Amino acid sequence: PPATAAPATDPGTGATRPRLRSHEWFGGDDVLGFVHRSWLRNQGHPDHSFDGRPVIGICQTASDLTPCNAHLRDIAEHVKRGVYEAGGLPMEFPVTSLGEILMRPTTMLFRNLVSMDVEETLRANPLDGVVLLTGCDKTTPALLMGAASVDLPTIVVNGGAMLNGRYRGRQLGSGTDVWRFADARRTGAMSAEEFRATEACMSRSAGHCNTMGTASTMACWAESLGLTLPGMAALPAVDSRRRALAHLSGIRAVELVRENVRLSDVVTRRALENAVVVNSAIGGSTNFAVHLLAVAGRLGIPFTLADLDRLGCSIPLLVDLMPAGRFLMEDFCYAGGLPAVLRELGPLLPHPDVPTVTGRTLAENIADAEVFDREVIRPVDDPLRPDAGLAVLRGNLAPDGALIKPAAATPRLLRHGGRAVVFHGVADLHARIDTVDCDADTVFVLTGVGPRGYPGMPEVGNFGLPKRLLDAGVDDAVRISDGRMSGTAFGTVVLHVAPESAVGGPLALVRDGDWIELDVPARRLHLAVSPDELARRRAGWTPPEPAADRGWVRLYVEHVTQADTGVDLDFLRGSSGAPVPPGNH
């Protein structure tokens, strides 16, 4: 039961308003109040820390194992300064950190687990608002999903990107250039020494990948949703202005609690629609789709793959960043960053009047934004591509949809028919890729890499081409899978095929030599095999063994949803809000 029923006087503003959640922990003149306050005092908090001021959680994803987020320890200190300055009490806490680089089989296997970590930690503790410290790819969606299911006042502070990579006078983009170097190493065009030298030149500072990969995409997503202060996404990780923004975010976190602006007041259907448009304009990662659908699911906002295509497909590509273009996040910052893109979009931005965490609308936030480099941020009437969005394909090979990013594909392959060469799983792919019978028109199919089949839906959809084709100068071919691809990757790659092969999707039924037609302009993905023959093959199909009989992976495979609904766990969709749980004493 509540310790006291009296409304609280905010020590910062003197205003009287309903008690904060944290008051249920710290406000009691009884054993519970004693216990909650007393143990925290061992950190040196004076008595007035518990006078009813907003308690702001700082959700920390720094980890030595997540190099992209390691500097968030320092960023958290700046958030705390702001929280204190505004009269709040900051409480930094760790959640499981997802490092894209080291975690196997894929961080995506753990995104939903971390979302549960965030959700339960927020609800179980005396927190009135939260600052989400994000960076590496999955840290942003995992934290957003968890926070959405609690729906406290929420603000995002992302860690920012690494400085531009440089090697022998040329720019190196995180991830994007790795694929090229790896191909060059395989063919012998690059020596082992050179290969090692480029490693050091690629990652020159704290921060996440500096291409428009998933991490940058997610940072721009948070900003376009109105969940960050303006300009947050593009500032380099090491830029002192990022620390200032972290400080200001701490202040706003306290004010958001006082104003009772919850996450769901900011992340609405209209905000998500803005985000889809922005993601096209920046050339954002294909992973955007599953993360957006998952967050929408948590908030109970109906959103479909068809919405993604409809809203985003005709939006021009304005930002010339790798992998679709030439530049890197540092250049994007100096060119004006996301506010400049939002302003440049003008009437293409469907809902400029949405509220944001600044207390102003999105349009008000960017009213003074300017483009400082027209090479990096192009005008709407002279874009890099006229249509940059994710295209959603359908057909008998993907009844529930599949994705392709035309901006990262080879134009002549966007309408293509070819004979299939099928690999069943990653091991089969690696074992046979260099020996299969194929040519430049072959359509390479990889099954068994969907959300359930290869638990976590790894980023293998842009798998390397046979050495024979590379040697012959073929640098792209149509590839189709139920997996994902890295946001830093490129190619004519059809991804996220749903339903996946492991649950009996038609992808499981493709055989070598089948004719497959890809027609991106018509949004079609067709397997030219008769329904009778497909039925025969289906009768002979047996589902794969479950990937695990215990632990997290078992829970995951038993409950994970398909790509078209965000690869969330079925029981995690929706929200449980932030009721104060009963005490323990």
> Footprint of ligand FES on this chain (CB under 6 A)?
68, 100-101, 136-137, 174, 208-209, 213, 215
138 contact choice in Mg ion, ligand FES, none (CB below 5 to 8 Å, kind-dependent): none
DSSP 361-415: BHHHHTTT---S-TTTB--TTS-SBS--SPEEEEETTEEEEEEE-GGGS-GGGSE
Q: H/E/C letters for each residue in 7-32?
A: CEECCCCCCEECCCCCHHHHCCCCHH
Q: How far is the CB of 211 from Mg ion (least distance, A)?
A: 9
Would you count residue 214 as binding Mg ion (CB under 5 A)? yes
Between the alpha carbon of residue 295 and those of residues 110, 187, 263, the distances in Å are: 15, 42, 11
Name the minimum Å distance from CB 213 to ligand FES: 6
**212/379 Cα distance (integer angstroms):** 19
CB of 564 to ligand FES, least distance (A): 25
Task: Pick one of ligand FES, Mg ion, none as the site partner of residue 197 (Cβ within 5 to 8 A by kind).
Answer: none
For Mg ion, the binding residues in 128-147 under the rule CB under 5 A are 137
Task: Name which of Mg ion, ligand FES, none residue 154 binds, using a CB cut-off of 5 to 8 Å depending on partner kind.
Answer: none
81 or 291, CB closer to Mg ion? 291
Task: Decide which of Mg ion, ligand FES, none touches 486; Cβ closer than 5 to 8 Å per partner kind.
Answer: Mg ion
Name the residue nearer to Mg ion (CB basis): 98 or 263: 98
**Amino acid identity at 255:** E
Minimum CB distance to Mg ion, residue 68 (Å):
10
CA distance 383 to 349: 16
Residue 100 or 476: which CB sits closer to ligand FES? 100
Strands 55-60 and 16-17: what pairing? unpaired
Distance in Å, CB of 316 to Mg ion, minimum:
25
> Is 217 an interacting residue with respect to Mg ion (CB under 5 A)?
no
Judged by beta carbon distances under 5 to 8 A according to partner kind, the member of ligand FES, Mg ion, none in contact with residue 101 is ligand FES
Least distance CB 68 / ligand FES (angstroms): 3
Q: Between residues 255 and 459, which has the closer beta carbon with respect to Mg ion?
A: 459
Q: Which residues contact 65 (CB under 8 A, 6 or more apart)?
A: 97, 99, 102, 103
| Pick 149 or 488: Cβ nearer Mg ion | 488
Size of the site for Mg ion (CB under 5 A): 4
Q: Are 494 and 288 within 8 A, CB to CB? A: no
In the list Mg ion, ligand FES, none, the entry touching 68 (Cβ below 5 to 8 angstroms by class) is ligand FES
Q: Which helix (H) or strand (E) holds 443?
A: strand 443-447
Which residue in the set 486, 492, 501, 565 belongs to the binding site for Mg ion (CB under 5 A)?
A: 486
CA distances from 577 to 153, 297, 298 (A): 11, 14, 11
Q: Give, as ranges, the residues between 41 and 100 that touch Mg ion (CB under 5 A).
A: 100
Stated length of the chain: 585
- The Cα–Cα gap between 446 and 516 comes to 13
CA separation, residue 240 to residues 111, 236, 401 (Å): 30, 9, 43
When CB distances are held under 5 to 8 angstroms depending on the partner's kind, the choice from ligand FES, Mg ion, none that residue 136 binds is ligand FES
Q: Please identify which residue in the block is written with the tokens 């320092």.
A: 74
Residues of span 405-464 touching Mg ion by CB under 5 A = none
Q: At its nearest, how many Å lie between ligand FES and the CB of residue 66?
A: 7
Q: Which is nearer to ligand FES, 87 or 207 (CB)?
A: 207
Helix, strand, coil percentages (3-state) for the chain, rounded to 5, are 40, 15, 45
Beta carbon of residue 217, minimum distance to Mg ion (angstroms, whole number): 9
Closer to ligand FES by Cβ: residue 66 or 561: 66
CB-nearer residue toward ligand FES: 100 or 500: 100
- Judged on CB neighbours under 10 Å (0-12, 13-18, 19+), 512 is middle
Count H helices and E strands in the chain, helices first: 20, 16
Q: Measured from the CB of residue 61, what is the shortest distance to ligand FES in angstroms?
A: 11
What are 230's two structure tokens? 């303006």
CA distances from 492 to 84, 85, 176, 464 (A): 50, 51, 15, 12
Nearest approach, Cβ of residue 141 and ligand FES (Å): 13
208 binds, among Mg ion, ligand FES, none (CB under 5 to 8 A by kind): ligand FES
Among residues 69 and 115, whose Cβ is nearest to ligand FES? 69
**Where along the sequence are the contacts to Mg ion (CB under 5 A)?**
100, 137, 214, 486
